[in-house]
């Protein structure tokens, strides 16, 4: 049993690398898209606010799995042919973007109105107010939940195994298909996912404590 | 690019989706009920226990919360029967998984609620001569429930959405029904539009119902 698993380790490592790569792409893309949409939600004109609200509520209201199938099978049906890897990244990015929008809204919303008014009173432009007053303060409230939310990207990435992408989850299933060592391999996989996500949630908690001084 | 929407085939096979939705709800309700018992018992135990018990409960919570649900579903359905002498159907196996999964999330919700119960309430209970058991049932738990209801609603709704993962072990719930229609009729965009609407509407009905419960209990404050 152990020799079989040892033999499979390089293959599992490749799968793990793909899991990390998918997660990283999703985290970066969703951060950019989420912050842009978040600005639209908080400061944009009303129609834009509505559009972002509908996007976010719809995405957060359906299971990620449905979103993944919708993007993966739906895009080719309307004539958009993406490689399955990018379809998976797109679907997970949509899911994660909706989360980032909410973290952003929560963080910016928690900054007292007086800050914005004071910045306006000393004559800062809209961009200056965001860059020098709002964002530096909101950042500390955005960071801990956002880091904790990265675990959702890592966990969600396990669903791309259903699209025939050889991430860690799929690699584990394939090794089980060859060796029939189901339980040891699932436990090994669980421990790998656990190690990554637990480290992230510890980092989040530590940051939260560190930034807690600005709460009052 | 031209794609003409045609919902006829979806309506012809709508029983797959409707039956699927009912099964999703059934899986969610049973698992959440069991998970709530697990969560309540462990949370109450946690706040009064010593270091060792706390570590064990925390290990359970952290393990479940940091591993993808799909892996836990595979582990319980395909992995566990190879080492333990048990045999269960896919739906039962999924209920076992989702119960343990929801239990871990609910322990956290209930634990933070218990810790938020004001100290004065417990002292007051002690002062009027309530036994520890009475203090728990009549003071601590009711107050905790009121504090945790909003977080509880969110957790319940997210657990309902998690039932979609049951489709990976061929439990014929809503997402499985969607895939069936996807593969058999190729009305792909239509079926996922309909299923998205079904999840959204069900989610909002659940949210609305839970908000009513919240409001009722808030008034009693």
C-alpha angle B7-B12-B16 in degrees, rounded to nearest 5: 105
Report how far residue A151's alpha carbon sits from residue B66's, in angstroms, rounded to the nearest whole number: 7
Chosen from B24, B68, B173 to mutate, greatest number of chain A CBs within 10 A: B68
Model pLDDT, residue A56? 96
CA dihedral A88, A90, A92, A96 (to 10 degrees): 170
Look at residue A183 and tell me whether its pLDDT is greater than 70. yes
**Residue among A126, A71, A119 at smallest CA distance from A94:** A71
In the predicted model, what is the mean pLDDT of residues B146-159? 92
- pLDDT exceeds cutoff 60 at B72: yes
User: Does residue B59 surpass a pLDDT of 90?
Assistant: yes
Of residues B57 and B9, the one with the higher pLDDT is B57
> How far is it, in rounded angstroms, from Cα B78 to Cα B142?
40
Exposure string over B180-202, b if 16+ CB within 10 A, otherwise e: bbbeebebbbbbbbbbbebbeeb
Tell me what the mean pLDDT of segment A132-160 comes to.
Answer: 92
Which residues 169-188 on chain A approach chain B with CB closer than 8 angstroms? Answer: 169, 172-173, 176, 180, 182-183, 186-187
Alpha-carbon distance A169 to nearest alpha carbon in chain B (angstroms): 7
State the smallest CA–CA distance between residue B173 and chain A in angstroms: 12
CB B91 within 8 A of CB B27: yes
Mean pLDDT, rounded, of chain B: 93
Per-residue confidence at A77, pLDDT binned at 50, 70, 90?
confident
Residues B66, A176: C-beta atoms closer than 8 Å: no
Percent of chain A surpassing pLDDT 70: 98
pLDDT confidence of residue B95: 98
The position carrying tokens 């391999």 is: A185
Cα radius of gyration rounded to whole Å, chain A:
21
A166 touches chain B (CB under 8 A): no
Q: Is the pLDDT reported for residue B149 higher than 70?
A: yes
Task: Tell me how close the Cα of B11 comes to any Cα of chain A, in angstroms.
Answer: 18
Task: Select the more confidently predicted residue: A30 or A8.
Answer: A30
- Chain B, 35-74: which have a CB under 8 Å from a chain A CB? 62-63, 65-72, 74
Calpha distance A216→B137 (Å, rounded): 34
The answer to whether the CB atoms of A69 and B192 lie below 8 A apart is yes
Give the tokens for residue A91.
């679907």
One DSSP character per residue, B106-148 reads: HHHHHHHHHHHS-HHHHHHHHHTT--HHHIIIIIIHHHHHHHH
b/e per residue B15-41 (b: at least 16 CB within 10 A):
ebbeebbebbbebbebbbebbbebbbe
The string of pLDDT tens digits covering residues B109-138 is 999 999 988 889 889 999 999 998 898 889
pLDDT at B218: 72
Within 13 Å and on the Cβ side, how many CA atoms surround A108? 22
pTM of the model: 0.92
Position A216 scores a pLDDT of: 44
Q: What does the pLDDT read at residue B8?
A: 87
Residue B49 pLDDT > 90, yes or no?
no
pLDDT in tens, A100-119: 999 999 999 988 889 989 99
Residue A64: pLDDT above 80?
A: yes
CATH of B8-219, one of 2.40.30.10, 1.10.3720.10, 1.20.120.550, 3.30.70.890: 1.10.3720.10
- Asked if residues A144 and A205 have their Cβ atoms less than 8 Å apart, the reply is yes
- Please report the domains of chain A, with CATH numbers, ordered by start residue: 2-214 (1.10.3720.10)
Distance to chain B for A66, nearest Cα, Å: 7
Q: Where are the domains of chain B?
A: 8-219
Looking at residue B219, its pLDDT comes to 52
pLDDT band at A213 (very low <50, low <70, confident <90, very high): low
Q: How far apart are CA A72 and CA A113, in angstroms?
A: 43
Structure tokens that stand for B30 in this block: 């049973």
A136-161: average pLDDT: 92
Q: CA A51, CA A34: separation in Å to the nearest integer?
A: 13
Share of chain A above pLDDT 90, in %: 75
ipTM: 0.91
pLDDT at A215 over 60: no
Residue A209 burial (10 A CB sphere; 0-12, 13-18, 19+): exposed
**Mutate which of B20, B71, B156, B189 to disrupt the A interface (most A C-beta within 10 Å)?**
B71
């Amino acid at each position: 049993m152990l020799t079989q698993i040892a033999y499979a380790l390089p293959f599992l490592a490749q799968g793990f690398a793909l899991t990390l790569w998918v997660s990283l792409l999703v985290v970066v893309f969703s951060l950019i898209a989420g912050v842009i949409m978040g600005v639209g939600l908080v400061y944009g004109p009303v129609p834009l606010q509505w559009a972002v609200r509908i996007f976010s509520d719809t995405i957060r209201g359906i299971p990620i799995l449905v979103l993944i199938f919708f993007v993966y099978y739906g895009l080719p049906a309307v004539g958009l042919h993406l490689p399955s890897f990018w379809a998976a990244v797109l679907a997970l990015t949509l899911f994660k973007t909706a989360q980032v929008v909410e973290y952003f809204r929560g963080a910016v919303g928690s900054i007292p109105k007086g800050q914005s008014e004071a910045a306006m009173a000393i004559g800062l432009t809209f961009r200056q107010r965001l860059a020098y007053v709002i964002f530096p303060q909101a950042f500390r409230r955005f960071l801990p939940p956002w880091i904790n939310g990265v675990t959702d990207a890592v966990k969600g990435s396990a669903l791309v195994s259903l699209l025939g992408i050889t991430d860690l989850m799929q690699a584990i299933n394939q090794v089980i298909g060859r060796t029939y060592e189901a339980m040891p391999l699932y436990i090994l996989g669980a421990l790998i996912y656990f190690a990554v996500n637990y480290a992230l949630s510890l980092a989040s908690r530590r940051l939260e404590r560190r930034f807690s001084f600005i709460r009052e | 690019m031209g794609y003409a929407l045609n919902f006829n085939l979806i309506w012809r096979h709508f029983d797959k989706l409707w039956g699927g939705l009912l099964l999703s709800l059934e899986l969610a309700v049973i698992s959440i009920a069991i998970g709530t018992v697990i969560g309540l018992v462990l949370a109450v135990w946690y706040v009064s226990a010593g270091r060792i018990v706390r570590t064990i409960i925390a290990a359970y919570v952290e393990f479940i919360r940091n591993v993808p649900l799909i892996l836990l579903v595979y582990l319980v359905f395909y992995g566990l029967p190879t080492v333990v002498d048990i045999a269960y159907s896919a739906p039962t196996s999924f209920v076992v998984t989702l119960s343990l999964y929801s239990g871990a999330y609910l322990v956290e919700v209930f634990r933070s609620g218990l810790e938020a119960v004001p100290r004065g309430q417990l002292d007051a209970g002690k002062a009027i001569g309530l036994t520890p058991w009475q203090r728990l049932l009549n003071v601590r738990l009711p107050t905790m429930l009121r504090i945790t209801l909003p977080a509880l609603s969110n957790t319940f709704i997210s657990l309902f959405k998690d039932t979609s993962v049951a489709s990976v072990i061929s439990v014929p719930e809503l997402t499985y029904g969607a895939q069936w229609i996807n593969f058999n009729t190729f009305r792909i965009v239509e079926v996922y539009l309909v299923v998205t609407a079904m999840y959204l509407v069900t989610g909002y009905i659940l949210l609305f119902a839970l908000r009513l419960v919240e409001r009722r209990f808030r008034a009693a404050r």
